[in-house]
Amino acid sequence: MPKLKPLVLLGLSLSCAALINSASAVTLTVGLDADPPRLDPALSSALVDRQVMNQIFDKLVDLDVNLKVIPALATSWKVTNGGLLYTFKLKSGVKFTDGTVLDAAAVKYGIDRNRTLEGSVRKNELSSVKEVKVIDPQTVQIVLSQPYGPLLAVLTDRAGMIVSPTAAKKEGADFQNNPVGSGPFVFVSRVRQDNITLSANKNYWDGAPKIDKLIYRPFPDGDVRYANLLSGAVQTVTPIDPKDITKLEQNAKFSVMNYPGIGYQGVWFNVTRAPFNNKNFRQAVAATIDREAIAKSIFYGTVTPAAGPFPPGTSAASSAITVQKPNIALAKSKLGGKPLTFTLLTVPGSVTTQLAQVYQAMFAQAGITAKIEQVEFGTLLDRADKKDYDALMLGWSGRPDPDGNIYDFFVTGGSNNQAGYSNKTVDGLLAKARAQNAMSARIATYNVALSTIINDTPYTWVYFQGNQVASVKGLSGLKPIPDGILRFKDVELK
């Protein structure tokens, strides 16, 4: 019996230690506006995917708060051979969370996978890549078939996310449900429409995160996101509905970041079928929209009316492209006395519902009837890809290089060309802009292309959104990077 006492004490000691460790573990719950559809860099086409994937995957390069390209997996790079050869030096000693070594061969595999995987949305972004070469374990080269100025900017996003070759080969098509990278957090599990759970990568090459567990919860309705923040069920939400920003700014328990973005929002028209295979009908709908009124009445001045794909202050913004004013007489003339009835596809949510209803009322001023259909975000993306819609409300989170805001959306066969639009002249101009180095020359080329795109109206731009993030006061370390992606590696929660 005397020998049992130390064992009991040891058991108590271990139990206490476990309780202490459990109590000190930090969990951060983040409220998003949708359930991320695809956690695979090759297949993803949604901003909300990127919120999660940026924690799981490292990229070759990243962005700072000024949209400057900075090192990530690549410690340095140089561009030679007239812009046709990019040579990257990689960090040594990096491993994927499944133990696979992240070396030049893994980088080659990841980029080649993005270029060639069936269904990859990255193909157009990387279409100028001729070959990826392994020079040595820490040196990789990307060889281009023609100069492509946006390459570094493209590699700051999904095209530059490096996946574990071991996991990708093992999981195949199911990799999006079991993603493995080398990032600061490790994928643990997901329950569709409920949560995605990540844990800290304690062996992360740049130091372990200060957050032990990171949980993402989808709340399509902005009022629900707001209520969950107030109740303490989540500690960070993005986006915040404009009507709630002032209330949170005046609440001592919360902090708000509201900063410019690089993306846009608007309406797609399916040009592959009636009624919007008729350009006049597309122009008629676009002519009814009062962008200034929408910015003021729905978004409380937190957005800017849009004239095209390049927000004010970004490198390709041009005063030559002006905001379209509402013109009901023009809309009626474009209809030519013919009736126009169509279905407007959108997602649930207080703001999107209100916006859809405002569109509906604006269209009606010209005698246009729009029926509103709401579907879950992943379903909307699937239907957009299949061209199974008349018109739909869908925007873009934006990219640091202007090519990322226009090329893949309007080039023939582009993976983000939701309209099914094709114009050979536009194709040539967008290809020309990709090969131009001087931004002034690119702007001139974009303006010519945009004059045709705006006239053809496969898409009508409505507003440029900002980034709105609300957090509890105990959260620190979030950086206002204009791409809108929250990076949690250095975030603390007290």
pLDDT digits (tens, 9 = 90+) for 31-49: 999 999 999 999 999 999 9
How far is it, in rounded angstroms, from Cα 209 to Cα 492?
Answer: 8
In contact, 393 and 409? CB cutoff 8 Å: no
Whole-angstrom distance between the N-terminal and C-terminal Cα of the chain? 45
Taking only the tens place, the pLDDT of each residue in 415-474 is 999 999 999 999 999 999 998 889 999 999 999 999 999 999 999 999 999 999 999 999
How far is it, in rounded angstroms, from Cα 270 to Cα 392?
Answer: 8
Q: Does the pLDDT at position 18 exceed 50?
A: no
DSSP letter for each residue of 133-167: EEEETTEEEEEESS--TTHHHHTTTGGGB---HHH
Dihedral sign of CA atoms 441, 442, 444, 448 in order:
positive
Q: In a 3-state reduction of DSSP, which class is residue 357?
A: helix
Sheet holding 304-305, edge to edge: 304-305, 459-464, 265-269, 391-393, 340-346, 368-374
pLDDT at 7: 32
CATH class of the structural domain 27-34+183-253+467-493: alpha beta
Cβ-based burial of 292 (10 A; exposed 0-12, middle 13-18, buried ≥19): middle
Cβ-based burial of 123 (10 A; exposed 0-12, middle 13-18, buried ≥19): buried
Look up tokens 């108590």; give the residue. 12
Other Cβ atoms closer than 10 A to 22? 8
Each domain of the chain, given as residue ranges in start order, spans 27-34+183-253+467-493, 58-171, 265-464
Strand runs (DSSP E) across 73-118, as ranges? 74-80, 85-90
The H-or-E segment that residue 51 falls in is: helix 47-56
pLDDT at 21: 45
Distances in Å between the alpha carbon of 251 and those of 30, 51, 185, 301? 19, 26, 31, 21
Q: Which residues, in sequence order, are bridge partners of residue 95?
A: 101
- 62-82 burial, b at 16+ Cβ within 10 Å, e below that, comes to bbeeebebeebbbeebebeee
Other Cβ atoms closer than 10 A to 144? 20
How far is it, in rounded angstroms, from Cα 344 to Cα 372?
Answer: 5
In contact, 270 and 260? CB cutoff 8 Å: no
Other Cβ atoms closer than 10 A to 273? 12
- Structure tokens that stand for 396 in this block: 């873009």
Contacts of 424 (CB under 8 A, 6+ apart): 412
pLDDT band at 9 (very low <50, low <70, confident <90, very high): very low
Distances in Å between the alpha carbon of 61 and those of 103, 149, 261, 390, 468? 15, 15, 20, 38, 25
Interval 391-408 mean pLDDT: 96
Q: Which residues, in sequence order, are bridge partners of residue 398?
A: 262
Q: Does the pLDDT at position 4 exceed 60?
A: no
Q: Does the pLDDT at position 266 exceed 80?
A: yes
Interval 325-335 mean pLDDT: 98
Q: Does the pLDDT at position 108 exceed 70?
A: yes
Strand runs (DSSP E) across 230-327, as ranges? 236-237, 254-260, 265-269, 304-305
Min mean pLDDT across 15-29, 119-133, 357-371 is at 15-29
Q: In a 3-state reduction of DSSP, which class is residue 435?
A: helix
How far is it, in rounded angstroms, from Cα 196 to Cα 178?
Answer: 11
pLDDT at 10: 34
pLDDT band at 24 (very low <50, low <70, confident <90, very high): confident
- Fold matches, 27-34+183-253+467-493 and 58-171: no
How far is it, in rounded angstroms, from Cα 385 to Cα 203?
Answer: 39
In contact, 386 and 420? CB cutoff 8 Å: no
> What does DSSP say about strands 475-476 and 492-493: parallel, antiparallel, or unpaired?
antiparallel
CA 15-212-251 angle, to 5 degrees, is: 115
pLDDT at 23: 52
Q: What is the CA radius of gyration of the chain?
A: 24
Min mean pLDDT across 2-6, 60-64, 439-443 is at 2-6
Report DSSP state, residue 398: B
Give the CATH architecture of domain 58-171: Alpha-Beta Complex (3.90)
Alpha helices in 100-217 (DSSP H): 104-116, 151-154, 165-171
The domain made up of 265-464 has a fold known as Dipeptide-binding Protein; domain 3 (3.10.105)
How far is it, in rounded angstroms, from Cα 75 to Cα 55?
Answer: 19
